[in-house]
A and B are shown apart, each in its own frame.
Chain A
Amino acid sequence: GAGVSQSPRYKVAKRGQDVALRCDPISGHVSLFWYQQALGQGPEFLTYFQNEAQLDKSGLPSDRFFAERPEGSVSTLKIQRTQQEDSAVYLCASSLVETNSEQYFGPGTRLTVT
């Protein structure tokens, strides 16, 4: 079956531009997570949805980051006024239940801010 898909795979943005990153989770998966992975680091949690409800956004680094999942399936991570420090791989993951369950990751979107 289809796994988690993300688009675009690569994005180059000039500093100050807004970007939108899309995630299509595995069908039927209740939980959806966004992570940020800097070079040489492990993924770091950004935000978590259970269906359409955003239950935890404690990992979002600033108010320039915004995520939504309006119908409980596809999710979009938006970054406004991008800065160079936003350059990273943004990973989306989904899981069948919210905890104690393996999360399935998409291939990620590599964002480069110039």
Chain B
Amino acid sequence: DQQVKQNSPSLSVQEGRISILNCDYTNSMFDYFLWYKKYPAEGPTFLISISSIKDKNEDGRFTVFLNKSAKHLSLHIVPSQPGDSAVYFCAADYGGSQGNLIFGKGTKLSVKP
């Protein structure tokens, strides 16, 4: 039973347009959420995070939105660039004494020139 779900395995976007990657979760105990980007043959790279006390966090071209009532978060990339093409993983943290992250299966983003 997946606690973090990324229902779109892939997404294709034109360069310069907005990319929106979605993530749903089932466990209301999660209180910290992260997005990671992964290129082939490399480990995941931290992109942006958001605490459950916020509903938005922005860092340059990347913005994460959190809707706690819907148990949904999204990552917006504006404008999208070809170098953004990668697999994006959504992850959640229980907080407290547990530190391990629960990951979704990932969404492969392709940004076409």
Interface residue ranges, A against B (CB under 8 Å): 4, 6, 31, 33, 35, 40-45, 48, 50, 55-56, 59, 91, 93, 95, 98-100, 102-108
Contacts and interface: CB of A to CB of B under 8 A. Distances in A.
B42 A107 contact: yes
Contact of A105 (B41, B43, B98): B43
B31 A56 contact: no
Contacts of B25: none
B103 A100 contact: no
A45 B100 contact: yes
19 contacts: A35-B103, A40-B105, A42-B89, A42-B103, A43-B101, A43-B103, A45-B100, A48-B100, A55-B97, A56-B99, A95-B99, A98-B97, A98-B99, A99-B95, A99-B98, A106-B43, A107-B41, A107-B42, A108-B43
A85 B88 CA distance: 25
